[in-house]
Amino acid sequence: MRLYIKSLLLIVLTIITACEDVIDVNVPEAEPRLVIEASLDWQKGTAGNNQTIKLSTSTPYFNTTVNNTVTGASVKVTNDATNAEYIFVDQNDGTYNITDFVPVLNDSYTLEVIYNSETYKAKETLMPVSEIKRVTQSLEGAFDDEVLDVTIFWDDPVDEENYYFINFYEEGDLFPFLEEVSDEFTNGNEMDEFFEKERDEDDGQEEFNPGDKVSFTLYGISERYYNYLQILIEQYDSGGDPFSSVAAEIKGNCINETTPDNYAFGYFRASEVDTINYTFQ
Amino acid sequence: MKNILLGICLLFSTLLIAQNSYSIRGTVKDSENGETLFGATVFLKGTTNGAVTNEYGFFSLTAKEATYTVVISYLGYKEISKEVLLNKDTVINFEIEELSESLDEIVITAEETERISIKKPQMSVSKLNASTIKQIPAVLGEVDVIKSIQLLPGVTNNGEGSAGFNVRGGAVDQNLVLLDEAIIYNTSHFFGFFSVFNNDAIKNVKLYKGDIPAKFGGRVSSVLDVHQKDGNSKKFALTGGVGLISSRLTAEAPLFKDKGSFLVAGRSSYAHLLMKGIKELKDDKLSFYDLNLKTNYKINENNRVYLSGYFGRDIFNISKIIENSYGNASGNLRWNHVFNDKLFSNLSLIYSKYDYQIVLNFIELDWIADIKNYNLKYDFGYYVNDKLKLDFGASGILYNLNPGEVKPTSNDSPINYLKLEQKRAFESGLYISAEHQLTDKLTAQYGLRYSRFNRLGGQNMTNYVNNQPVVYNSELGIYEEGEELGEAFFEKNESIKTFDNFEPRLGLSYQLNTSSSIKASYTKSSQYLHLLSNTSSVTPLDVWTPSGKYIKPQLSNQYALGYYKNFKNKAYSMELETYFKTVDNRIDYIDGSNLIGTNTIETEILNGEARAYGLEFLLRKNTGKFTGWFAYTLSKSEQRTLGGNAGGLGINDGNWYNTAHDRTHDFSITGAYKLNEKWNLSANLVYQTGRPVTYPNGQYEYEGLSIASYSDRNESRLPAYHRLDFSATYNPTKNKDRRWQGEWVFGVYNAYARKNAASITFTQNNDTGQNEASRLSIFGIIPSITYNFKF
């Protein structure tokens, strides 16, 4: 909702002779922080035994060349109900792997990362998700009636508040589109989410054409992770434009128990996931 | 409190005894069109006795029996004088002639009249007449009240394409904007590019930046008091213009055998007509229009009624995807009654409304929000004697707020119907204020306003565990929604919460000599309505919310001190003012707050405080071939938002941070030059320190994207804003003695094509993967041409 209204305002701005150009800006520089990308994603129809956690550090905003992977940390996940411990193995490239993780829906897990003799901890519940029922493509839907759009559908359970995360990716693109969705206005209904691309000379984007391959991944997520993603995605998309809420530090759920102020960026999530691939006709 | 009131009454009663005195009262009007003049000076030559006309052109003064020369003067008008034998109470109506048509006839205003304006205790006020506003170069030739006042010291806004204005470091919602006494909730067309005031329908504009008279209440920063013209009472007149963006037409004429007059003014943009012709844009619509109406009828010498109205709307439709419209509507029925030679009164019944609608066809959603109010007020002016004038009155405002209603637009829409809690409130006020000449040199204006705000029932209120709508999560270091503890329904006749405030207003002026004075003032004011806006620019869909159980009224204290001087026979005037202002209970939003479609605003905000201080300098040249001003402001505006009841240190760790309206330096030069009978030239130059913004201080990879980490709120600044504009007005000579008078206005906005940053956004380039900073600048160099006419 907010996003749509914001885009309306931006459209109006651009209609009225606005001009956008890339400039050099001096930005402040903060001390690096640990970044924990701990995403336990359990793909429907798999055992979910293979999991990877990524560790890195933050860098100055315009920096492009720094090697910021984190090695030598110890990474462990515990099932809070069974006390089963899962040790992740350092691959020496910033990733930590495990091949015998046992996911259980609605169970609570605790992540523990020890790095530079500081202990980081996070807790999350493994959230279930409905399956993607179908994918459709059309011309008429979405914003522009002359270009192809694609929509996925799934059912929202009635009796609870549900939160979703969608990762949409077109083969050949540099980046995925991320979207967070709640059932606030649509509880218990058939949910849908559409994607459409517009041609943009500046960044080489093209509209969808027959033969284009795309994938959708739908995640069931917790309310707190939804709140986290909402800020993260809004700030990523808007980059601080005047119609989005004032940009702020995004704090995840990884707490530094040794030095609380030295908290980590990133998030420990645990989600059931459904993925569907689609080729435009 | 009682003692103060008693004291004031005693003081007045001793002053009421005067012997062999008679009053002179009447109105002052423009001889050309019969418009009453607000702020004209009526003066008895050779004495210090004088009066200033009120907003209805009325004056009254009292003097001992004698023969006097009554002098009437008003800036930009020919001064007139008249012999009057005062041996009984006398009614005289004056008509004075405007100077602008024949510049050679400029009469230097007399020394005596000068003393009065210097003497008046009212400070921190700026007045602009419609004719002055018209001279200022405007973007695309659209003459604009709101943009004009930003050239005055202490007034800024967030740059092009942002709505409203900021006074002395205050927020947009802290300004009380009145159009013929009706509250205007949103002053912008086209999301802030133009204002809702059609200059052709406006007589004058008064902006109180501080020292707010006791008759105004409800906002803590300023009052923008806009008066519409009454309509020409001498002859039928048409004025209008054709510009690049909009066209205007105003008709005015006398009514009922000169007992009344009316004015109807319309303005409409026409970009949408051109868009119809372009294939790609034929489904788009981008337009605004407004309609002003005013009529008055003089029943007899002591009674006059006025009816004024405004209706304006903006419409944006984008390819049938988004349909969006918003606008203000207002009406005011007034009755001026003169009880006797000393007591003037006005009773007003006012309605105003602002509503906003957006239809998003692609998700089949229809969203409506509005705010309405009904206002009854009764104001009195009591001209006790030549030393004392009293203003007193009462008002009551009933508010109905609909913060949002969501409807599905079709049966198979995925959207469920939702109506947010409807809110109601009643705000009442009582005031008394005196303008009192204590000694020859010392004049005081002192008053008291009592305001009461009653948040009425008829809605559910959410309760929270430990009465905490927001809770600090110390583990994660973030503010989160509190845990709900059910809802309580308040009946319509129940009160959810009431607030009372006494607001003293005090002003003093001390005359140093005939041409200079010092003034000091103190104003306390309270504000019960708040505009919810967590973005750096105010947008039309921001929702107003009343104070209540969780949101406290904003309370401000402002202290100001000033020095004023007229020189070169009043051709120049200089004002130097300094102010210090504090605002309690200024809300700010927790990181990542979401205000849209929520009943529980209280879970997204923290109560904080704000403070602002500054120095303002204004040098004005009032008469001659060259007129204009230089304004400079040095100021600071900060806020602090502690965790309070929610726990934690607060926003920015509880430290003071810049508000988005903080501008260290702000200066402007505005000038108009009459080259000859045919050509008028004008120009303005503005410079402002960049707006405080929040910049990234690092990046990290998450989900394959480069995510920015951000520094403390408003820690960085956009580059400085500056701009130069020109305009030239051409009056063809054949105009002389012709009924139809035309003029051409040629303008250049942003003459040296400065790319002023409206915003700088930080994004990752989809092609290269690099992070980059993009500057959005709204207006390049913009030429314009406008044709205006009078008939």
From the list A168, A137, A167, A133, the residue with the least C-alpha distance to A153 is: A133
Please report which confidence band the pLDDT of residue A119 belongs to, taking 50, 70 and 90 as the band edges.
very high
The reply to whether B410 falls in a domain is: yes
CA of B759 vs chain A CAs: smallest distance (Å): 6
The reply to whether A196 falls in a domain is: yes
- Dump pLDDT digits (tens) for B269-297: 887 776 666 666 667 778 899 999 999 99
Q: What is the CATH number of the domain that holds A216?
A: 2.60.40
Please report which confidence band the pLDDT of residue B13 belongs to, taking 50, 70 and 90 as the band edges.
very low
CA dihedral B161, B164, B168, B170 (to 10 degrees): -110
Q: Is the dihedral of CA B317, B318, B324, B327 positive or negative?
A: negative
How far apart are the C-alpha atoms of A230 and A240, rounded to whole Å? Answer: 14
Percentage of residues in chain A with pLDDT exceeding 70?
A: 88
CA of B473 vs chain A CAs: smallest distance (Å): 11
Taking contacts as CB-CB distances below 8 angstroms, the residues of chain A near B415 are 185-186
Strands B21-30, B90-91: pairing is parallel
Q: Are residues B237 and B355 in the same domain?
A: yes
Q: Are residues A113 and A148 in the same domain?
A: no
Any residues with CB less than 8 A from the CB of B345 and at least 6 apart, and which? B336, B337, B338, B339, B378, B379, B380, B381
Q: Are residues B200 and B78 in the same domain?
A: no
Whether residues B779 and A12 touch (CB distance < 8 A) is answered with no
pLDDT for res A18:
63
What's the mean pLDDT in B636-664? 90
Per the structure block, which two tokens stand in for B772?
A: 């980059």
Nearest to A243 among B324, B535, B779 (CB): B535
Length of chain A: 281
What's the mean pLDDT in B33-62? 85
- Dump pLDDT digits (tens) for B603-617: 888 999 999 999 999
Q: Are residues B93 and B159 in the same domain?
A: no
Whether residues A61 and B764 touch (CB distance < 8 A) is answered with no
The reply to whether B291 falls in a domain is: yes
Q: Does any CB of chain B come closer than 8 Å to the CB of residue A172? A: no
- Taking chain A, what is the end-to-end CA distance rounded to the nearest angstrom? 30
Q: What is the CATH number of the domain that holds B58?
A: 2.60.40.1120
Residues pairing with B148 in the sheet = none
The reply to whether B519 falls in a domain is: yes
Range of the domain at B94: 21-108
Report the half-sphere exposure of B605 (CA within 13 A, side-chain side). 23
CA of A30 vs chain B CAs: smallest distance (Å): 5
Strands B66-73, B41-44: pairing is antiparallel
The reply to whether B5 falls in a domain is: no
Taking contacts as CB-CB distances below 8 angstroms, the residues of chain B near A24 are 773
How far apart are the C-alpha atoms of B523 and A271, rounded to whole Å? Answer: 57
Going along chain A, which residue ranges are E strands? 19-23, 34-43, 51-57, 74-79, 85-90, 95-98, 108-115, 118-125, 134-138, 149-155, 163-170, 177-182, 190-196, 213-221, 255-256, 265-279
pLDDT for res B112:
36
The reply to whether B132 falls in a domain is: yes
Final residue of a domain: which of B108, B133, B154?
Answer: B108
Whether residues A247 and B773 touch (CB distance < 8 A) is answered with no
pLDDT for res B580:
96
Q: Does any CB of chain A come closer than 8 Å to the CB of residue B69? A: no
B146 φ, ψ (degrees, to nearest 5): -65, -40
Is pLDDT at B223 greater than 90 in this prediction?
yes
- Window B:647-706, CB contacts with A under 8 Å: 660, 693-705
Q: Are residues B328 and B447 in the same domain?
A: yes
CA of B309 vs chain A CAs: smallest distance (Å): 29
The reply to whether A13 falls in a domain is: no
**What value does the CA radius of gyration of chain B take, rounded to a whole number of Å?**
27
pLDDT for res B280:
63
The reply to whether A10 falls in a domain is: no
Q: Are residues A134 and A237 in the same domain?
A: yes
Is pLDDT at A143 greater than 50 in this prediction?
yes
Percentage of residues in chain B with pLDDT exceeding 90?
A: 36
Which DSSP letter does residue B187 get?
A: -
**For helices A223-238 and A2-15, what crossing angle results, to 10°?**
10
Burial degree of B283 (CB within 10 A; 0-12, 13-18, 19+) = middle
Please answer whether residues B233 and B226 qualify as being in contact, where contact means their C-beta atoms are separated by less than 8 angstroms: no
Q: Are residues B104 and B205 in the same domain?
A: no
pLDDT for res A9:
53
Taking contacts as CB-CB distances below 8 angstroms, the residues of chain A near B536 are 242, 246
- Dump pLDDT digits (tens) for B412-439: 777 778 888 899 999 999 999 999 988 8
CA of A189 vs chain B CAs: smallest distance (Å): 6
pLDDT for res B3:
55
Final residue of a domain: which of B108, B140, B155?
Answer: B108
Whether residues A61 and B696 touch (CB distance < 8 A) is answered with yes
Q: Are residues A118 and A134 in the same domain?
A: no
Q: Are residues A132 and A237 in the same domain?
A: yes
How far apart are the C-alpha atoms of B701 and A240, rounded to whole Å? Answer: 18
Q: Are residues B150 and B262 in the same domain?
A: yes
The reply to whether A5 falls in a domain is: no
pLDDT for res B281:
65
Q: Are residues B452 and B485 in the same domain?
A: yes
What's the mean pLDDT in B586-598? 80
CA–chain centroid gap for B506, Å, is 22
Is pLDDT at B2 greater than 60 in this prediction?
no
Q: Is the dihedral of CA B267, B273, B275, B281 positive or negative?
A: positive
Per the structure block, which two tokens stand in for B382?
A: 């009591």
- Window A:242-271, CB contacts with B under 8 Å: 242-253, 255, 260, 263, 265-267
Distances in whole angstroms, Cα of residue B212 to Cα of each of B5, B123, B215, B216, B383: 20, 9, 8, 7, 20
Is pLDDT at B241 greater than 80 in this prediction?
yes
Q: Are residues A46 and A122 in the same domain?
A: yes
Domain count, chain A: 2
Q: Are residues A185 and A266 in the same domain?
A: no
- Dump pLDDT digits (tens) for A58-74: 999 998 766 789 999 99
Q: Are residues B152 and B56 in the same domain?
A: no
The reply to whether B245 falls in a domain is: yes
pLDDT for res B114:
41
Is pLDDT at B116 greater than 60 in this prediction?
no
Q: Are residues B718 and B758 in the same domain?
A: yes
Range of the domain at A72: 34-127+250-270
Q: Are residues A123 and A254 in the same domain?
A: yes
Q: Are residues B85 and B133 in the same domain?
A: no
Q: What is the CATH number of the domain that holds B683?
A: 2.40.170.20
CA of A268 vs chain B CAs: smallest distance (Å): 12
Question: What average pLDDT does chain A have?
Answer: 86
- Dump pLDDT digits (tens) for B347-386: 999 999 999 998 887 777 888 999 999 999 999 999 888 8
Q: Are residues B291 and B204 in the same domain?
A: yes
Whether residues A240 and B761 touch (CB distance < 8 A) is answered with yes
Q: Is the dihedral of CA B95, B788, B186, B415 positive or negative?
A: positive
Q: Are residues A83 and A164 in the same domain?
A: no
Please answer whether residues B44 and B110 qualify as being in contact, where contact means their C-beta atoms are separated by less than 8 angstroms: no
H and E: helices and strands count for chain B: 5, 53
pLDDT for res A222:
93
The reply to whether B114 falls in a domain is: no
- Dump pLDDT digits (tens) for B468-483: 899 998 888 888 888 8
- Dump pLDDT digits (tens) for B540-573: 778 889 999 899 999 999 999 999 988 887 788 8
The reply to whether A3 falls in a domain is: no
- Dump pLDDT digits (tens) for B322-354: 788 999 999 999 999 999 888 999 999 999 999
From the list A55, A44, A61, the residue with the least C-alpha distance to A120 is: A55
Is pLDDT at B19 greater than 60 in this prediction?
no
Whether residues A16 and B778 touch (CB distance < 8 A) is answered with yes
Q: Does any CB of chain A come closer than 8 Å to the CB of residue B416? A: yes
Q: Are residues B370 and B505 in the same domain?
A: yes
Please answer whether residues A179 and B709 qualify as being in contact, where contact means their C-beta atoms are separated by less than 8 angstroms: no
Nearest to B537 among A190, A243, A253 (CB): A243
Burial degree of B202 (CB within 10 A; 0-12, 13-18, 19+) = buried
Taking contacts as CB-CB distances below 8 angstroms, the residues of chain B near A145 are 319
- Dump pLDDT digits (tens) for B753-780: 888 888 888 888 888 888 899 888 888 8
Which amino acid, B376?
A: L
pLDDT for res B1:
47
Final residue of a domain: which of B55, B83, B108?
Answer: B108
Q: Does any CB of chain A come closer than 8 Å to the CB of residue B363? A: yes
Domain count, chain B: 2
SS3 at position B197: coil
Burial degree of B203 (CB within 10 A; 0-12, 13-18, 19+) = buried
